[in-house]
Structure 1
């Protein structure tokens, strides 16, 4: 292990880009974990055990971040100095704002009507939209268009929240 300060891509010896070979990530994670797993340091001194725990935690955090496309995009933007500003930047293109309102109304209508089929159809639609937007996000990130990519990330965060809400509504109606 080089330095605990390495970025997540460096930690796993992967190129710092959005398009990621998940099999290579999985293999790299297993390699790092095999080197730093606390069980390997059971007989070591307290300082070595503590360092092993820090490395293992860092590897877990890095793996979790890089495995999730939305977290990976946010992390990649942060490495480039571009803050997604999800908490305080809600500015989005008007077409997406209109789409948000439509999705919200459809969720309310379907939930109010206890229509699980309509909720599932909307969830499928959102997943399709999400796939298309991730493809666009990959092109933006790998092309170095950080500000448009940050907006795309914020839009995907919204889509993910709506999908989670729909999932909760479906579960509520099915129970």
Structure 2
């Protein structure tokens, strides 16, 4: 079975041409669109639907830098073990604690500027982590990349918490 990169005829690496991904996705979608199978047998329609579903899943995975990084690690035999491997560097954990405290203070005080500053810091941290992950994955250091992808998972989740805090403060 083809992996997501092969499905779209793209090189199997983190750095990705998003316009090529878009184009390849639309080509696959056009080939499997239900209108093309209007007069097909039930089995042919089911196969087309399976291809459409697979293409959607592959596209969503490759479109997201976080999901693409996790997928590349797993493709290369390095499971993220996100549930069982929660060990993180001390500096990262300290940063997380500081940010959580800042978030709680900003939420309690309904301090929008503090929340915006925290969001800006988080975006910068995610961007830096993605650059680090890109270098590691493209250099085929999947074990170290997996550690950074696990960290990125925490940052993604924390970003959702910040988004929720914005929604509460702005409502």
Determine if the TM-score, normalized by the shorter chain, exceeds 0.5. Answer: yes
Q: State the alpha-carbon separation in 1 of the partners of residues 49 and 71 from structure 2.
A: 23
Q: State the alpha-carbon separation in 2 of the partners of residues 96 and 48 from structure 1.
A: 51
Q: State the alpha-carbon separation in 2 of the partners of residues 168 and 155 from structure 1.
A: 20
Q: State the 4+ residue runs in structure 1 displaced beyond 2 angstroms.
A: none
Q: State the alpha-carbon separation in 2 of the partners of residues 100 and 139 from structure 1.
A: 24
Q: State the alpha-carbon separation in 1 of the partners of residues 38 and 78 from structure 2.
A: 41
Q: State the alpha-carbon separation in 2 of the partners of residues 39 and 77 from structure 1.
A: 37
Q: State the alpha-carbon separation in 2 of the partners of residues 79 and 57 from structure 1.
A: 20
Mapped pair 1:28 → 2:24: yes
Mapped pair 1:174 → 2:163: no
| 1:45-94 Cα deviation digits (max 9, x unpaired) | 10000000000000000000000000001111111010011111110111
Matches within 5 A, 1:50-69: 50-69=46-65
The match for 1:92 is 88
Mapped pair 1:149 → 2:154: no
The match for 1:16 is 12
1:144 CA drift (Å)? 1.0
Q: State the alpha-carbon separation in 2 of the partners of residues 168 and 124 from structure 1.
A: 15
Residue segments in structure 2 that go unaligned for 5+ positions in a row: none
| 1:7-48 Cα deviation digits (max 9, x unpaired) | 000000001100000000000001111111122101101000
Q: State the alpha-carbon separation in 2 of the partners of residues 102 and 39 from structure 1.
A: 54
